[in-house]
């Protein structure tokens, strides 16, 4: 599984390396902005980050993205348990 930061980068990665779409998850949350607090589960984390973005007037429901990492977190975890494989994270922030 490949985790890519941003839709554009995910599209370039998919085409450049001929990776099937089901092997890519997209992280749409800009982690270099705002607090990164402790959390006990993915829902708590999503709520924490959505509240931060909402304070800035940014809609960040994350669920708008079919291949979003947060929306597919449980699926990714299940796949890692059922079929252990390498997971790569590609993240760049300017």
- Could you tell me the residue ranges of all domains in the chain? 2-30+56-90
pLDDT tens digits, residue range 22-49?
A: 888 888 888 888 898 888 888 888 888 8
pLDDT tens digits, residue range 38-86?
A: 888 888 888 888 889 889 888 766 655 566 777 777 777 776 666 667 7
Cβ contacts of 3-7, under 8 Å, gap ≥ 24: 3/27, 3/69, 3/87, 3/88, 3/89, 3/90, 3/91, 4/90, 5/90, 5/91, 5/92, 5/93, 7/65
> What's the token pair of residue 11?
């599209």
Chain centroid offset of residue 67 CA: 8
Tell if the pTM clears 0.85, that is, is over it: no
Q: Which residues pair with 27 in a beta bridge?
A: 5
């Amino acid at each position: 599984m490949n985790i890519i930061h941003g839709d554009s980068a995910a599209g370039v990665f998919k085409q450049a390396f001929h990776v099937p779409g089901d092997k890519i998850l997209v992280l749409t949350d800009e982690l270099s902005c705002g607090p990164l607090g402790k959390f006990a589960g993915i829902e708590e984390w999503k709520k924490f980050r959505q509240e931060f973005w909402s304070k800035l007037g940014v809609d960040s429901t994350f669920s708008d993205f079919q291949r979003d990492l947060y929306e597919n977190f449980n699926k990714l975890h299940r796949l890692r348990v059922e079929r252990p494989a390498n997971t790569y994270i590609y993240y760049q922030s300017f």
